[in-house]
Every structure is written in C-alpha cells, then in structure tokens.
Chains A and B, each alone.
Chain A
Amino acid sequence: MPSWHEIVLSTLKKSDVRLVPYVPDRVFTPLIEALHDDNFFTTFPCTREEEAIGIVTGAWMGGMRAAVLMQTSGFGTIPNALASLAVPCQIPALIFVSERGTLGEFNLGQALVCRTMRPVLDSLAVEHHTITDVNTLAFIVDRAIKQAVAIQQPVTFILSPLLTGGKVFEA
C-alpha cells in the first residue's frame, strides 16, 4: 500500500496539477521533498500562504493547474484571499492543509486556529474534505479536483493526523 504522500503526489500528477507553492510544514515534509525531486512539478516555498493563493490564481488564469500546501495556522492567514479573490473570481485553488490543533496538539494557539478553519470554509461555501483514511484518499482527491475544475471553485483537503500521523509531542 503506498503511503499518503505517495498517493497525493500521484493523484496531483494524474490530475495534471503541475505547480505547487507551499509554506513549509513538518508533517508535509516527505510530500514536499518528493515534489522537489520530481521534474513534473514546479514547487517552491512562499513567504505567506495568501501569497501562494495569489500565485495559484495567476497560474490557473494562465492555463496551469496549481495546488498549495500549508498547515492549519497558515490557513488562518488566507480568508481575505479566498473571500475577495479565489471565490468571487471562481478559481479552482486546490488547498491542502496539514491539520494541527487536534488529536494530541500541544500548542493552545494551534488548537484555537484549528477551530476557526471549518467555520470559515463553511461561511464561504468552500467545499472541504477531512481525510482520515488512506484507502479513500486517492478517490477523494481525484474526484474533488475534477469537481473543483468543473464548477470553478476552490476546494480544501484537510489531512488529519489519523492519515498522516500528525506532529507528535512526547508528554
């Protein structure tokens, strides 16, 4: 059985998603390293998550599919970019969030920003999938990308610690 990050990478490739800006995350490290190692992808770090949303928007308008990787706290910086750019302009921004703030979080700030994420997405009617099971990962990502492109709306994939293992704190 391939690992979660191998499945995400292969599904992005199958979906012709070639551009992947990101803001680094410990849990996403194996995915980020694999993206850097694969010439199919153009991948690079951004200084802020909303910057990455802007880049993804420009790439889509220029004819290139793009995804952005971030962690939960980074999501807290992008509501304006979603509400005033990606959603009203109908941009299928593919947003992958490494979920922190739950299932063993050790930082109260992370736990609180995590509580804001789904209500923000719901308030903007942006579809989001919390993925916990490696067996459904490829299906969800593949179908949700197809839908995002078809209906021209962003989609968010929240990768749960149940899927990735999360960031572990030895209490």
Chain B
Amino acid sequence: MAGNTTAHNAKVMNRFDLTKRLVAQLKREEAVVGGIGNANFDLWAAGQRPQNFYMLGSMGLAIPIALGVALAQPKRHVFALEGDGSLLMQLGCLATVAMLRPQNLTMVIWDNGVYQITGGQPTASAEAADLVAIARGAGIANSNWAADEADFDALVAASLKGGAPTLIGARIDKGPPAGATERDPVKIRENFMRGLGVRK
C-alpha cells in the first residue's frame, strides 16, 4: 500500500500525534534529531528522552546532523524529523545520504505546505513539489508517503529493521505544536551526548 501512496491521497494527519506514535516504537535508545521549530517542539512535548537532540537554529541541517550521528554510531538507529520548508532549504543532503547509504537512518518529513512558524507562508510543496518523489530521485529508493496513521506506524517499524536509509513523508495539518523546547544549546548537546553514551 505504502508504495502506491502519493501526496495527493495521503491522509492529512497531526504532527504531535505522529511524533508520539514514533517515540512509542523506540525501545533501543534510538537517537532522534528534531529539526528547527515545530518538529523539535513536538518532539520535546512527546517526552524528553536523553537520546533526543533539539535543533534550535541552522535551518535545514536536521538530516545532516542525524547522518553524522549515524556514521559515528552505526549500531544505533537514528531518526531525523524535518519540516517541508527545512528540507527544501537543503535538498542536496538527500543525495549525500543516498550516496553513503547508511543502514541506520530514517528521515521523517512533516509536510503541511507552509512555513508554519514564520506565519504560514506557502512552501513549494503545497503547490507542486513532491518531497517523496524528490527523495526517490535523489537515490533513496525506500521513500514513501504514509497513507494514514497505521501506515506511518508500519513504515517506522520497517525502517527500524535497517538495511537501507528510509524516508517517510507525512502530510500533516496546520495545528500548533504541543509545547516549546527549552532553549539551552549546551544543555541540549550535553544531555544528548550522555544519552548516546559518549559522555558519562
């Protein structure tokens, strides 16, 4: 089913609900990098796991940061949660991921068609760009739109088995985030490194 889902017939879901669903599947201290803005706000609101990194600036770099973690710790599964506007800012990173083929990286794209945190201006994905098709074109064959919540759960579960980088596109509504991340970069980074076992 998933492979046949396009942006047009994927169900419009809720980012916080899906974030909670994703986190609920994490049983092995998987790392999660939340992109700038509402992607990491909802990750924060879903529960402050030590293996979460909340990106406060550097728009577009959630996937590159997650890729760096994945390369440094190949036995740990790593997720990047990124918005449509952020991914559009750094599309080249998809080609880099495809080239390197990390087996432990899952990229989740929240696509609501707007730059939500800056006032709801439209993104190109609202009109024309299909981010999952772009990812496939970049060489990430395992790229799919989630048809609905159950399909999202199944795609996350499948990606956790590893083997190839995975991209999951999720159409989401324009609902507000469920919280706001504490903005302390050093604390965030230090907690994350402890969560990854790099610091004691």
Shortest B135–chain A CB gap in Å is 14
- The count of A-to-B residue pairs whose CB atoms sit within 8 angstroms is 124
Q: How far is the CA of A160 from the CA of B72 in the complex (A)?
A: 31
Q: Which of B56, B61, B72 contacts A54 (CB 8 A)?
A: B61
Given contacts A55-B67, A62-B68, A63-B73, contact A81 B58 (CB under 8 A): yes
Binds A, one of B151-159, B165-173, B185-193: B185-193
Mark B29-61 against chain A: 1 for CB-CB distance below 8 A, else 0.
001010000000000000000000101111111
Q: How far is the CA of A48 from the CA of B197 in the complex (A)?
A: 30
Indicate the size class of the contact surface on chain B.
Answer: 35 or more
Q: How far is the CA of A82 from the CA of B31 in the complex (A)?
A: 23
Shortest A86–chain B CB gap in Å is 8
Q: Which of A44, A55, A63 contacts B65 (CB 8 A)?
A: A55
CB-based contact A58/B68 at 8 Å:
yes
The B contact surface, by secondary structure, is helix
Given contacts A58-B64, A88-B186, A89-B185, contact A64 B90 (CB under 8 A): no
Given contacts A48-B90, A51-B92, contact A85 B61 (CB under 8 A): yes
Q: Which of A44, A47, A51, A80 contacts B57 (CB 8 A)?
A: A80
Residues on B with C-beta less than 8 A from A63 are 72-73, 193, 196-198
CB-based contact A61/B58 at 8 Å:
no
Q: How far is the CA of A89 from the CA of B62 in the complex (A)?
A: 14
Q: How far is the CA of A53 from the CA of B57 in the complex (A)?
A: 13
CB-based contact A61/B93 at 8 Å:
no
Mark A63-90 against chain B: 1 for CB-CB distance below 8 A, else 0.
1101000000000000011011100111
Residues on B with C-beta less than 8 A from A83 are 57
Given contacts A80-B57, A81-B61, A83-B57, contact A58 B66 (CB under 8 A): yes
Q: How far is the CA of A85 from the CA of B40 in the complex (A)?
A: 15
| Interface membership of B100, Cβ < 8 A | yes
Q: Which of A19, A46, A53, A88 contacts B71 (CB 8 A)?
A: A19
Within 30-66 of A, Cβ neighbours of B (below 8 Å) are at 42, 44-48, 50-64, 66
| Interface membership of A91, Cβ < 8 A | yes
| Interface membership of B26, Cβ < 8 A | no
Q: How far is the CA of A15 from the CA of B96 in the complex (A)?
A: 26
Shortest A49–chain B CB gap in Å is 11
Residues on A with C-beta less than 8 A from B72 are 19, 58-64
| Interface membership of B99, Cβ < 8 A | yes
| Interface membership of B133, Cβ < 8 A | no
Given contacts A57-B68, A59-B68, A84-B57, contact A47 B185 (CB under 8 A): no
Q: Known pairs A55-B68, A62-B72; list 20 more (Cβ under 8 Å).
A: A44-B99, A46-B64, A46-B93, A47-B93, A51-B64, A56-B68, A57-B65, A57-B68, A58-B67, A61-B193, A61-B196, A62-B70, A64-B71, A66-B68, A80-B57, A80-B59, A84-B56, A84-B57, A85-B61, A91-B189
* Interface residues of A, Cβ cutoff 8 Å to B: 19, 42, 44-48, 50-64, 66, 80-81, 83-85, 88-91
* Interface residues of B, Cβ cutoff 8 Å to A: 31, 33, 53, 55-73, 76, 90, 92-93, 95-96, 99-100, 185-186, 188-189, 192-193, 196-198
